Copies of this chain bind each other. A is one copy, B any other.
Amino acid sequence: MGTSANTVAGGRGAAVPKDVDYAQYFCTYAFLYHQKEMLSDRVRMDAYFNAIFENKRHFAGKTVLDVGTGSGILAIWSAQAGARKVYAVEATKMSEHARALVKANNLQDVVEVIEGSMEEVTLPEKVDVIVSEWMGYFLLRESMFDSVIHARDRWLKQTGVMYPSHARMWMAPIKTGIGDHKLGDYESTMDDWHNFVDETKTYYGVDMTVLSVRELEEQSEKYINTSLWNNLHPNQVVGTAAIIKEIDCLTATQTDIEKVRSNFSLSITHENTKLCGFGGWFDVHFRGRSEDPTEQEIELTTAPSVDYGTHWGQQVFLLHPPMHLSEGDDLRVSFLMSRSKENHRLMEVELGCEIHQQSGKLLAPFKNKYYIE
């Protein structure tokens, strides 16, 4: 998708001006504390470290592009694994620190840090490998993969490999106490609102009742219809998990990833449990390409885990009220995720569900809207 120099493709053809994109998105990445959060994620770091160093054959003597280099870590590892040349592209002023880090680790002859957006920079040559850590919450939040696709189509050799090579989105039914908290917060906010309306009428002679509809909307959106970051315990997953999206990073197009549409089935596996909502997460794999596979296949998963949690956590989509279900009950789920009109880096989800109970009973189907903020 062609973009003019001062805009960023906004999905649905809507161009977002560069400086708005910076104010809304990029600016957090210019801060070291934010980079450090990701650099301190041992599961993430181990996966990329192993993916690169267990597969030196893909790097030694080769040219590499690191899309969104941040602190420069992946570029540095690529160079340490023997790359001939590494182009490390970073849109924010973090590039200056990446450059300093490269120099401090004596790799300035191999790693060239380039400040600019991937859609705008020009490289002197095509590359053998594109490495990038582009995954947002629930994989696609932030829509950074758009930039990886652009880089791949423009700068990856015909024989090139993608690191990671594959990505998948998963969903499962869950139980959680968060829903009760959120409902409680919502109810007390609405009580507070009603008191406020009474007082404003009494003391200030203005009747604000007509705004109650808007207040209800805003509060529902905030407490009930916005997905949450959470670090789920595996015990909270009360049924089977389903793959709702698969991406081949070598061939996926912008159109393929613009919307995520999936109909899938889940079964409850816990006896007498509560369905409080759905948890969503992702995994990526480093497999190389079929004609040129990795020696060592590496997986990075963000599934609920006791010891291997990541900074991504999982995304929780709450159901109000929770439903009492049991082992063998089936859920037929329709899922549609699209980009928000206001901000292509945020998402809107329509999640429909039909529940067929083991007893034969069919519960009233529902369809909920969620915002991934």
Interface residue ranges, A against B (CB under 8 Å):
17, 19-20, 23-24, 31-33, 36, 39-40, 45, 49, 71, 73, 76-77, 80, 97, 100-101, 103-105, 193, 196, 200, 203-211, 214-215, 218-219, 222
How many copies of this chain does the complex contain? 2
In Å, the complex CA distance between A203 and B73 comes to: 13
Choose one: B23, B36, B77; the contact of A196 (CB below 8 Å).
B36
Contact A100 B206 (CB under 8 A): no
In Å, the complex CA distance between A39 and B33 comes to: 36
Contact A76 B206 (CB under 8 A): yes
Choose one: B31, B73, B196, B218; the contact of A40 (CB below 8 Å).
B196
Contact A36 B214 (CB under 8 A): no
In Å, the complex CA distance between A196 and B45 comes to: 13
Kindly list chain B residues whose C-beta atoms are within 8 Å of the C-beta of A206.
73, 76-77, 101, 105
User: Assuming A45-B203, A73-B206, what are 18 further A-B pairs, CB within 8 angstroms?
Assistant: A17-B17, A19-B20, A23-B23, A32-B214, A32-B215, A32-B218, A33-B219, A36-B193, A39-B200, A40-B196, A45-B204, A71-B208, A73-B204, A97-B211, A101-B206, A101-B211, A104-B207, A105-B207
Kindly list chain B residues whose C-beta atoms are within 8 Å of the C-beta of A36.
193, 196, 215
Contact B33 A218 (CB under 8 A): yes
Kindly list chain B residues whose C-beta atoms are within 8 Å of the C-beta of A204.
45, 49, 73, 77
In Å, the complex CA distance between A355 and B215 comes to: 52
Kindly list chain B residues whose C-beta atoms are within 8 Å of the C-beta of A209.
104
